[in-house]
Amino acid sequence: MTGIDVRRVDAALFDLDGVVTDTARVHAAAWQRLFDDFLTARPAAPGEDHRPFSTQDYLREVDGRPREDGARAFLRSRGIRLPEDRPESEGSRATEDGRADEPETLRGLARRKDAHFQAALSQGVHVYPDARRLLTTLRGCGLRTAVVSASRNCAAVLARAGIGGLFDTRVDGVLAARRGLPGKPAPATFLAAAELLGVAPARAVVLEDAETGVIAGRRGEFALVVGVDRTGDGSRLREAGAHVVVTDLDGLAVTGCPAADRAASGPEDRQGGPTEPQPPGGLGSRERPGRSGVDGSTATAAGAGPGRARLGSATGRRRP
């Protein structure tokens, strides 16, 4: 399957940053500011690489990972080791300008990065029009939708962008921490989203712009893993195992729904890909549990109503 055939799948799982919203750029800028300041101020030491943080550093070490995991991976790539956090007994000291003196620890760096991101987020969130169109099309054809993000700011981004109603459920960094789910490239967060929607992975599509997310989709044995390449270099997503790579979501064919059939307008696709290890047990069950929200409560399909029901009826699909 090189496009989304809505007769063969029941759900679509969207990464947030870089797929639905332009916040990947904001995250990258926040990481660059953090690490450039950190590396400039850090004294030279044998075995440590203090070159400025680059786009390739972001894509290879940070993109798609939980905040602490990304910081850890980048520092390791530069030969730098930091303690996880300051001991509770030490507390933060105040500097002369009254700001907290954040220690040089892994979690301290992660907190600084989040502060940079929050400052940028206050200026607004841009939603990709092609993502909004695809979400509207798929939901009109009766598919369930989820947003799956490593970010603990996912809910805030959705609220500021005004698109929470386009998703039936959310699996983000907050839920992952509460459940103890490992981050991408492990498939656990995608599998959790499928479970919450009551859909088997073999009946769901994953849409990702990060290599780690593509690998997670393949390891979770999802029906289709779409690589969304907004940077102009789709090779990294193909090499990670994406079944299809598109430069924007208007380039993804949607078939099997008379009200929304469309041909792909984008350039390239590819079947197959490297064989990935079998996913771990538990969330990967092929059973179809009842749908529930991220807090375990029963979830109501966002945007459901009389108009939505008519669309589902017209296409011959039923939403459970």
Per residue in 178-208, pLDDT (tens digit) is 999 999 999 999 999 999 999 999 999 999 9
Task: Kindly indicate the confidence band of residue 302, based on its pLDDT and cuts at 50, 70 and 90.
Answer: very low
User: Taking 50 as the threshold, does the pLDDT of residue 317 lie above it?
Assistant: no
pLDDT digits over 26-83, tens only? 777 888 888 999 999 999 999 999 999 998 898 788 877 888 888 999 999 999 999 9
User: Taking 90 as the threshold, does the pLDDT of residue 96 lie above it?
Assistant: no
Any idea which of 76-85, 216-225, 229-238, 277-286 has the lowest mean pLDDT?
277-286
User: Taking 90 as the threshold, does the pLDDT of residue 137 lie above it?
Assistant: yes
Q: What is the pLDDT of residue 262?
A: 55
Q: What is the mean pLDDT of the chain?
A: 78
Q: What is the pLDDT of residue 280?
A: 30
User: Taking 80 as the threshold, does the pLDDT of residue 278 lie above it?
Assistant: no
* Averaged pLDDT for residues 293-302: 34
State the catalytic residue, choosing from 5, 10, 15, 209: 15
Strands 100-101 and 4-5: unpaired
Q: What is the pLDDT of residue 100?
A: 46
* Averaged pLDDT for residues 10-22: 95
* Averaged pLDDT for residues 202-231: 96
Selected residue with higher pLDDT from 29 and 317:
29
Q: What is the pLDDT of residue 270?
A: 40
* Averaged pLDDT for residues 133-149: 96
State the catalytic residue, choosing from 10, 17, 130, 168: 17
Q: What is the pLDDT of residue 301?
A: 31
In percent, how much of the chain has pLDDT > 90?
51
Q: What is the pLDDT of residue 139?
A: 95
User: Taking 50 as the threshold, does the pLDDT of residue 275 lie above it?
Assistant: no
In contact, 245 and 234? CB cutoff 8 Å: yes
Three-state secondary-structure class, residue 224: strand
Residue entry with tokens 């203090």: 50
Active site residue 15: yes
Selected residue with higher pLDDT from 292 and 163:
163
Give the torsion through C-alpha atoms of 97, 102, 103, 106, to 10 deg: -150
**CA gap 311, 158 in Å, rounded:** 25
* Averaged pLDDT for residues 278-301: 33
Active site residue 172: no
Q: Quick one: which of 172, 182, 175 has its CA closest to 279?
A: 182
**CA gap 93, 178 in Å, rounded:** 30
In contact, 104 and 279? CB cutoff 8 Å: no
User: Taking 70 as the threshold, does the pLDDT of residue 265 lie above it?
Assistant: no
Q: What is the pLDDT of residue 86?
A: 66
